[in-house]
Amino acid sequence: AAPDIDWERPLSGKVAVVTGAARGIGATIAEVFARDGATVIVADIPAAGEALTQTANKVGGTALALDVTAPDAADRIAEFATERFGGLDIIVHNAGITRDKLLANMDEGRWNSVLEVNLAAPHRITAGLVEKGALKSGGRVVDVSSIAGIAGNRGQTNYGASKAGVIGMVNAEAPKLAEHGVTINAVAPGFIETAMTAAIPLGTREAGRLLSSLLQGGQTVDVAETIAYFASPASNAVSGNVVRVCGQAMI
Ligand code: NAI
């Protein structure tokens, strides 16, 4: 029989952590989760400061100053969620960075920092939470890949490798998480209008927008609503999947 779910607020009673939530896609995920009834913890680096507080206030959530690359990040997330709200149901690994450079100038520093934030940290946190049994049965992990991990992007060897890695990681983690009653899925956004893409040089930025058949960049809410589906009871039987949110682009 179908479980008894309040479809007006499908995340009611759920505790969710969204990383990189001070601004951009993460802030909109927090907003959509709060609308859907979740108790939302918004996490971002300490330097995000006031922006993180503002997002927390806007969505009626709680701020957690946390660099996802900290070795004890999983412990801190688990403790924060458990002490304040009695447990953790949903984690969205949204924090991500770019450090673009053409191949010849792709130094170790840029390579390592992007791989660390975008790929190693989500893995370390998911593994840590599972090891501690911190994610409740019925829980959700959602990772953020990118079209850059599926199709190539000039100057983004590090970023593309990290985001392709996210897809491999999600595929591999799904059976293990299933043992704990937890699903894991990923979104692969195309060009979305945020501070991250505003930093791209104008010509490349316009080319990015034109790759979408909508002929414009996507909005943060387009990504957030897809993630909300993966967080909701509606996706109970869906794990190990990647959904492209690419403005109907054929890539
Ligand atoms: P953004 O740059 O606007 O926001 C990213 C947030 O992550 C920032 O608030 C930043 O402070 C935070 N962050 C960075 N490093 C962190 C760390 N070590 N620990 C905790 N927080 C950290 O970026 P945007 O555009 O909102 O991107 C969000 C996610 O979506 C990223 O994973 C990005 O790679 C991905 N994405 C974005 C696309 C776009 O077109 N904007 C396309 C495809 C994927």
CB-CB contact of 119 with 168 (8 Å): no
How far apart (Å, rounded) are the C-alpha atoms in residues 140 and 200?
A: 32
Residue 154: what pLDDT? 86
Q: Answer with the residue of higher pLDDT: 169 or 211.
A: 169
Stretch 3-26: mean pLDDT: 95
Instruction: Tell me the mean pLDDT in the region 63-90.
Output: 98
| Pocket of ligand 1 contains residue 26 by CB under 6 Å | yes
Tell me how far apart the alpha carbons of residues 116 and 97 are, in angstroms, rounded to a whole number. 10
Residue 138 in 3-state DSSP? strand
- pLDDT level of residue 213 (50, 70, 90 thresholds): confident
Whether 159 lines ligand 1, by a CB cut-off of 6 Å, is no
Residue 3, pLDDT above cutoff 80: no
- What 8-state DSSP symbol labels residue 182? -
Give the distance (Å) from ligand 1 centre to CA of residue 195.
9
Q: Whose Cα sits closest to atom 23 in ligand 1?
A: 196
Q: Count other Cβ atoms within 10 Å, centred on residue 221.
A: 15
142 lines ligand 1 (CB under 6 A): no
Strand order in the sheet with 183-189: 62-65, 39-44, 15-19, 88-93, 135-144, 183-189, 242-245
In order of 138, 141, 169, 204, 250, the CA distances from 89 in angstroms are 7, 9, 20, 39, 34
| Average predicted confidence (pLDDT) for the chain | 96
Strands 183-189 and 242-245: parallel
On whether ipTM exceeds 0.95, the answer is yes
pLDDT in tens, 46-58: 999 999 999 999 9
pLDDT at 153: 85
- DSSP-based three-state secondary structure for 18: strand
Whether the pTM exceeds 0.95: the reply is yes
- Which residue in the block uniquely carries the two structure tokens 């909109």? 28
Predicted confidence (pLDDT) at residue 250 exceeds the cutoff of 90: no
In which band, very low, low, confident or very high, does the pLDDT at 13 lie, cut at 50, 70 and 90?
very high
Q: Which of 31, 45, 110, 170 to mutate to test the pocket of ligand 1 (most atoms within 8 A of CB)?
A: 45
Question: Which are the catalytic amino acids?
Answer: 159
Q: How many CB atoms lie within 10 A of CB 84?
A: 13
The pLDDT assigned to 192 comes to 96
- Beta carbon of 122 within 6 Å of any ligand 1 atom: no
Tokens matching residue 191: 């060009």
- Ligand 1 center to residue 69 CA distance, Å? 14
Share of the chain above pLDDT 90, in %: 90
pLDDT at 2 over 80: no
CA of 96 to the centre of ligand 1 (A): 4
Residues 29, 204: Cα–Cα separation, whole Å: 26
Q: What is the pLDDT of residue 1?
A: 59
Ligand 1 pocket check for 218: Cβ under 6 Å: no
